[in-house]
Structure 1
Amino acid sequence: MSQSIIDPEFGDNIVTTARTATGDSLRSVTYFTRANFEQLYLREDLEQDADLNDFVGHEWQGYKQTENAYQESELGEYLFTVRAFENGYLLRVTAERSGVLITTDGLSMSSYEEIAEAIGRMLDEQNEE
């Protein structure tokens, strides 16, 4: 049995928040840190054996590069990333030490903003502990 990198209750809260905000559009939820990741939820109709190592590594590196590149931007503080793909969308929400990747079927931009805000607050509170 592998050891979890996230408190199970906190992981359940992340999934519940994502599920409440997205309904049946939720595809997957993955919690990640610089060194590791854990898939918290994967919808039944999706491939159960996807290799997330490179994917998560790229998203962590992408977060750091984005945060650094835009820190002086007139647009303000970086908040989250939404990526569009042929078969769905990816939302990346990150804090200083961890992040969450949520994949969905299509949602409105305001839905992504709401999810990102809620997950961002949860990550910030976790980092304060």
Structure 2
Amino acid sequence: MYDVPFDTGIETPFADSVISAARTSLGDTLRSVIYFTPSEMDLLYVRRDLYESRQGALEVKSRLVEFERGGFAEAPVRTVLSVPDDPSGIGPYEFTVRFHRDGFVVRVLEGDAGVILTTDSMDVDAFEDAATAITTLLAAT
């Protein structure tokens, strides 16, 4: 599943909790789980039918992480958009879902850490469950 020690410095129980939260919410549609910071990443889970090698998965997921790291720089914009106690506002940022023809990319950020989930096409309601569980885990670290 993953290599330890983790490049990001996370602990194995935390990695297991993130994977469990994603699998519980998203089931067999889950393709991958990546934990990342502004400078490092760890590939926590990849569904076995997707890549011929771990190295191949790391190469593809590294490109995805580089793109999603832009979310850390967007934090001030997300904060401006979520004015507390504004009844006409959109509320605080929770997570990002990117829709693709054959699946989804979900990014959850909390401070200087994030998790990316990739899935097959599916009902989008499960993303909120997964993102909420992972946000709780990220906030506790």
Q: TM-score, normalised by structure 2?
A: 0.81
> Within 2, Cα distance between the matches of 1:59 and 1:77?
19
Aligned to 1:60: 69
- Displaced runs of 4+ in structure 1, greater than 3 A? none
Residue 27 (1) aligns with residue 36 (2): no
> Within 1, Cα distance between the matches of 2:13 and 2:78?
34
Within 5 Å, give how 1:5-44 maps onto structure 2: 5=8, 6-44=10-48
Bigger mean CA offset, 41-50 vs 117-126 = 41-50
> Within 1, Cα distance between the matches of 2:132 and 2:4?
30
Q: TM-score, normalised by structure 1?
A: 0.88
How many residue pairs align between the two structures? 125
Shift of residue 63, structure 1, vs aligned partner: 4.1
Unaligned runs of 5+ in 2: 82-88
User: What amino acid sits opposite 1:102 in the alignment?
Assistant: L
Percent of pairs identical after alignment? 34
Q: Let me know the Cα RMSD of the aligned residues.
A: 1.6
SS of the aligned residue for 2:135 comes to helix
Q: Is the 8 A contact 2:30 2:119 kept in 1?
A: yes
> Within 1, Cα distance between the matches of 2:78 and 2:42?
28
> Within 2, Cα distance between the matches of 1:2 and 1:113?
29
Within 5 Å, give how 1:1-129 maps onto structure 2: 3-4=5-6, 5=8, 6-47=10-51, 48=53, 49-50=56-57, 51=59, 52-65=61-74, 67-73=75-81, 74-126=89-141
Unaligned runs of 5+ in 1: none
Shift of residue 105, structure 1, vs aligned partner: 1.2
